[in-house]
């Protein structure tokens, strides 16, 4: 149960920035500030556009992984350069996806 009160002064710009960041996370300003002060994880919600990009990137990752598996199969004429490039693309996409998931 929260019974204690803390207040601190901020500039107008800081107040707007904190309120905007809280809104983007779906948290109240108080909950956002509390989590930030206690080094707790504060995750931003995706905008509809960001969510669409994330879904597309995830789909691309999956498709490139399937292509890579096909190339690795014994029924496919292996081209090491294509395989290397595909693995590099898969790795880059995975790195970007991990940034969204943190």
The DSSP annotation for 40-71 comes to: ----PPPPHHHHHHHHHHHHHHHHHHHHHHHH
Locus of tokens 């498709």: 63
**Full residue range of the structural domain in which residue 36 is found:** 1-45
Percent of the chain exceeding pLDDT 70 equals 90
Indicate if 34 and 64 belong to the same structural domain: no
The mean pLDDT of 52-68, rounded to a whole number, is 84
Indicate if 54 and 96 belong to the same structural domain: yes
Indicate if 67 and 93 belong to the same structural domain: yes
- The whole-model pTM stands at 0.44
Of 3-7, 12-16, 93-97, the range with the lowest mean pLDDT is: 93-97
Indicate if 23 and 37 belong to the same structural domain: yes
Indicate if 65 and 40 belong to the same structural domain: no
Indicate if 55 and 89 belong to the same structural domain: yes
Total domains in the chain come to: 2
């Amino acid at each position: 149960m929260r019974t204690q009160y803390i207040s601190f002064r901020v500039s107008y710009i800081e107040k707007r920035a904190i309120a905007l960041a809280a809104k983007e996370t779906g948290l109240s300003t108080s909950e956002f500030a509390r989590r930030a002060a206690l080094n707790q994880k504060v995750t931003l919600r995706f905008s509809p556009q960001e969510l669409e990009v994330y879904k597309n990137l995830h789909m691309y990752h999956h498709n490139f992984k399937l292509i890579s598996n096909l190339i690795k199969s014994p029924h496919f004429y292996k081209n090491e350069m294509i395989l290397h490039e595909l693995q590099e693309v898969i790795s880059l996409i995975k790195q970007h996806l991990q940034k969204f998931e943190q």
